[in-house]
Amino acid sequence: MRRAHLDRLEAESIDIFREAAAESERPVLLYSIGKDSSVLLHLARKAFYPSLPPFPLLHVDTTWKFREMIVFRDATARNMGMELIVHRNPECVAAGINPFDHGSATHTDLWKTQGLRQAMEEHRFDLAFGGARRDEEASRAKERVFSFRNAGHRWDARHQRPELWRLYNARTGPGESIRVFPLSNWTELDVWYYIERERIPIVPLYFAAERPVVERDGVLIMVDDDRMPLDAGEEPQLRTVRFRTLGCYPLTGAVCSDATTVPEIIAEMRATTTSERHGRVIDHDRAGSMERKKQEGYF
């Protein structure tokens, strides 16, 4: 079946990319290596083809990503011929911030939220593309496509710019910036249908394979390297698992699955009944935690 709504979503996203690039001085694409980033990058290439997208990729690294993600990231940037900027918050590097000793909230805030701010300021980016979707989480449902951030990088849900027709407002003053979400109107299922249709490469971790995992509080955590402290008697088990979202490996839950192709993943998704962010440990910290993080400038 030809999914005409994917054509419409694609055209809308391309329109957004072109408007944003035309109206900003120093745009950047926040590349977080997951499937949404893969789709985002694919759409960016379509928007400007045959030119390369007129902006670099920025990865805000935490040093705790899955190793396969980093390999994929570097290969992707090389194959696309795009500039890749990797930012690691130097204060976190110095202090050795990690999710085990400092807790997931602090870890995420310092590496990602503060790291992103640093990178935006250091490179004086005035506009950043991100892969967030409105269907991901309740607080995102009211997010604009062009989301204004004040000079303190904060999102103010109560004073957002109204957004009408396809007339986006990308204007900023000194220090202010815009986050642009070309995938705003996509759902998780749309993303997978599109990956299938366009044959977009994604990190192999999305596909089921035998991986060493431990179970913690009901969440399957993959032991990706020997930095992971194991409890006495805790022994990684080889299980056939895959990931629905990718982040820092100690904070990302795996799901048991046999899906090894995109159609199998789609079939599994249509049958499953657990939402995507469920596997992300950070969301469970406190009710409304995503909203709070957004106000503080987390992507």
Site residues for other proteins per CB under 8 A: 2-5, 7-8, 10-11, 14-15, 18-19, 21-23, 45-52, 134-135, 138-139, 141-142, 157-158, 160-167, 169, 171-173, 184-185, 187, 189-190, 272-275, 278, 287-288, 291-292
Residue 84, sorted as left (phi over 0), alpha (psi -120 to 50) or beta, turns out to be: beta
CA atoms within 13 A on the CB side of 272: 17
* Cβ closest to other proteins, residue 124 vs residue 166: 166
From the CB of 23, what's the least distance to other proteins, in Å?
8
* E-assigned strand segments in the chain: 27-30, 57-61, 84-88, 127-129, 146-149, 177-180, 209-216, 219-222, 237-242, 253-256
* Cβ closest to other proteins, residue 6 vs residue 86: 6
Structure tokens at 135: 């269907």
* Cβ closest to other proteins, residue 10 vs residue 109: 10
Q: Which of 140, 143, 76, 86 is nearest to 115 (CA)?
A: 86
- Beta strand 237-242 with 127-129 is unpaired
* Cβ closest to other proteins, residue 18 vs residue 67: 18
Separation CA 208–CA 265 (nearest Å): 9
Structure tokens at 293: 């993080």
* Cβ closest to other proteins, residue 68 vs residue 283: 283
* Cβ closest to other proteins, residue 175 vs residue 236: 175
Separation CA 22–CA 210 (nearest Å): 46
Separation CA 122–CA 112 (nearest Å): 15
Where b means 16+ CB within 10 Å and e means fewer, 140-155 reads: beebbbbbbbeeebeb
From the CB of 92, what's the least distance to other proteins, in Å?
28
From the CB of 217, what's the least distance to other proteins, in Å?
15
* Residue 234 one-letter amino acid: E
From the CB of 208, what's the least distance to other proteins, in Å?
20
From the CB of 105, what's the least distance to other proteins, in Å?
16
* Cβ closest to other proteins, residue 79 vs residue 273: 273
From the CB of 29, what's the least distance to other proteins, in Å?
16
From the CB of 68, what's the least distance to other proteins, in Å?
26
